[in-house]
Amino acid sequence: MKTLIEVTAEDIAKGIPKVCAACPVALAIKRVTGRGASVMQLYIGFHDGSGWIDSPREVLPFVRAFDNEQPVKPFSFELDVPEVNP
Q: Classify residue 83 as left (phi > 0), alpha (psi -120 to 50) or beta.
A: beta
Per-residue pLDDT, 43: 96
List pLDDT tens digits, range 10-69.
999 999 999 999 999 999 999 999 999 999 989 999 999 899 999 999 999 999 999 999
Q: Give the residue extent of every domain in the chain.
A: 2-56+72-80
pTM of the full predicted structure? 0.94
Handedness of CA 22, 23, 26, 30 (dihedral sign): positive
Answer yes or no: is pLDDT of 84 > 90: no
Per-residue pLDDT, 66: 98
Answer yes or no: is pLDDT of 85 > 70: no
